Structure 1
Amino acid sequence: MNAAGVRSVARIVARDDGRGGTALPVLASDGPLALRRTRATGAGARVMLIGAMSGPLGGDHFTVHARVEEGATLSVGSAAATIALPGQAKGEARYDVRLDVADDAELHWLPEQLISAQGSDLCVTTRAEVAATARLVLREEQVLGRTGERPGRLTSRLTLRVAGRLVLDQELACGPGAPGGWDGPAGLAGHRAVGQLVVVRPEFGAEPVQGGVLAEGAALMPLAGPAALVTAVAPDALRLRRLLDEALAQLG
């Protein structure tokens, strides 16, 4: 690896194939990121994101672009958790996700957890652009440190636009060097797993979801648009996944 770290880009384009299914005219990746189409149920396409190498390490910059065109349905997952590790290169690592969902299209973005290992420094940005009649299910899960270790520095920013309107822009910073209070009673309160679930559905525009506490550690908030946000904290990744799965089931 050179001093500047590794650069890797993965691109997915999903398109209605005109026969009741979804084609993938673009499925391209390089370096540590690999994309594989897997068997899907129904008319949609399913893609797995595979980490072909360790990382992201310090100085690395990974980017994933996914575009779902009108009438197509795509589900994207990952084969294993992503582990942010310290590297020989100086500076933070970056992981950028860009999602674009057209009218009458649907995207389920459901990767496995991101683990912030001790000594790592990672900045994650996720930006989703969703058309007025599109549907989106987006899940993010962060685990602060592996078993028995302190977390690295992790900054995560999530931005959502629906029909060109900004409905969510939030940032979470954890670990060494993060603003004071991130692990206090007003922050994670000692929990080591935190996650977000964003659901965008056109019907939420006419009948917004009712906000409130869903379970211990999980809360539901309607957004200013046909969307809802679930935020959850938990002592571990298993409990966090259970909370988010239960929340998604409650949202239908």
Structure 2
Amino acid sequence: MTRPGVPTLVTVRRDASGRDVASELGPGTFLAPRPLLPAADGLHLALVGTTAGLLAGDDLSIRITVGPGARLHLMEPAGLVAYDHRGGTSSWRAEVEVAEGGQLCWDSRPFVVSSGAEVTRAMEVRLAPGARMLWRDTLVLGRSGERGGRIRATTRADHDGGELLVEDLDLTEPDVRELPGILGPYRVIGSVTALGADPGGRPHPSRMDLAGPGAQVRLLETRAPAVERELEAVWQSWRASYGTAFDATRNGPGAAMPA
């Protein structure tokens, strides 16, 4: 059975009083945005699942727009599971646009690719000058005791019109991905990625600086809890650094990100 992919829509702006407000919250086929308690550091929303995880023929689509100077914090209360597709395929797509001076922090939960699933996943990010995004992401190949299905995950982030991050993780062939020097025995891939500005924070041995302003910490493990614990520390450190610098930028024209 194919379920039509009505996109989940989130549009956030900064109003005349300086508050971050949602001008559009459109529930999609699979996810619905839900407001959380008000906070001083921006608008907080949860992306709540409205149906079972990805099945064959499913097309999950998310479109997020953050207006000039606005702040959006997205969190996912539960992970997403792509179940056995029984010969079919599914897709997950996100399009993110952050205007000048805007900020998006997206704290996602694990994306699990069960044995028998075949998924394409694409993240497209466009950042204007002075915009930034912090994204936490974990891919898990298989549920407990499974080898895991097939996934091709692409990420493309542009900043101020230039390429900041272009990545193509082709994990569609289990025999290839399990070779030494690729994934080997690991089936969990966790990342925290800062786009548009140096995240500062505590030093980390797995940090990689991007082609422009930004950095990424990527971890490989055999079990998800170990990755999630270490990523949580990186996430909290980078988020605190991002928030402090963002407040300084909004409140003072000469402020800059920490080195």
Q: What is the aligned counterpart of 2:183 among 181, 188, 202?
A: 188
SS for the counterpart of 1:243 is: helix
Residue of structure 2 in register with 1:13 after alignment: 11
Residue of structure 1 in register with 2:125 after alignment: 128
Residue of structure 1 in register with 2:52 after alignment: 54
Q: What is the TM-score normalised by the length of structure 1?
A: 0.87
Residue of structure 2 in register with 1:94 after alignment: 91
Aligned residue identity for 1:230? V
What is the 5 A alignment of 1:39-50? 39-50=37-48
Structure 1 runs of 4+ aligned residues shifted over 6 Å read none
- CA deviation string 1:221-241 (max 9, x = no partner): 111211112211112221112
Aligned residue identity for 2:183? L
Cα RMSD of the aligned pairs, angstroms, is 2.1
Q: What is the aligned counterpart of 2:70 among 54, 61, 72?
A: 72
Label 1:45 to 1:250 Cα distance change in 2 as closer, same or farther (>3 A): closer
Aligned residue identity for 2:35? R
SS for the counterpart of 2:176 is: coil
In the TM superposition, residue 56 of structure 1 has moved relative to its aligned partner by 1.2
Does residue 147 of structure 2 align to residue 150 of structure 1?
yes
In the TM superposition, residue 154 of structure 1 has moved relative to its aligned partner by 1.3
Contact 2:196 2:212 in 1 (8 A): no
Residue of structure 2 in register with 1:85 after alignment: 83
- CA deviation string 1:141-179 (max 9, x = no partner): 10111111220111111111111111211111225x35x
Aligned residue identity for 1:192? R
Does residue 101 of structure 2 align to residue 114 of structure 1?
no
Contact 1:8 1:33 in 2 (8 A): no
In the TM superposition, residue 106 of structure 1 has moved relative to its aligned partner by 0.7
Aligned residue identity for 1:197? V
Aligned residue identity for 1:119? G
Does residue 234 of structure 2 align to residue 247 of structure 1?
yes
Once the two structures are overlaid, the 10-residue window that deviates more, 33-42 or 18-27, is 33-42
More helix by share: 2
Contact 2:127 2:196 in 1 (8 A): no
Contact 1:21 1:43 in 2 (8 A): no
Does residue 159 of structure 2 align to residue 162 of structure 1?
yes
Contact 2:127 2:160 in 1 (8 A): yes
More strand by share: 1
- Unpaired segments ≥5 residues, structure 2: 242-259
- CA deviation string 1:160-213 (max 9, x = no partner): 1111111211111225x35x53122211221121022211344x3xxx97xx9x
Contact 1:129 1:162 in 2 (8 A): yes
In the TM superposition, residue 43 of structure 1 has moved relative to its aligned partner by 3.9
- Unpaired segments ≥5 residues, structure 1: none
Q: How many residues get paired?
A: 238
Structure 2 CA distance for aligned equivalents of residues 181 and 120 of structure 1 = 17
Q: What is the TM-score normalised by the length of structure 2?
A: 0.85
Q: What is the aligned counterpart of 1:224 among 211, 216, 225?
A: 211
SS for the counterpart of 1:20 is: coil
- CA deviation string 1:35-55 (max 9, x = no partner): 211114214111111111112
Label 1:250 to 1:37 Cα distance change in 2 as closer, same or farther (>3 A): closer
Label 1:25 to 1:250 Cα distance change in 2 as closer, same or farther (>3 A): closer
Q: What is the aligned counterpart of 1:197 among 192, 200, 205?
A: 192
Contact 1:20 1:43 in 2 (8 A): no
Aligned-residue sequence identity (percent) comes to 24
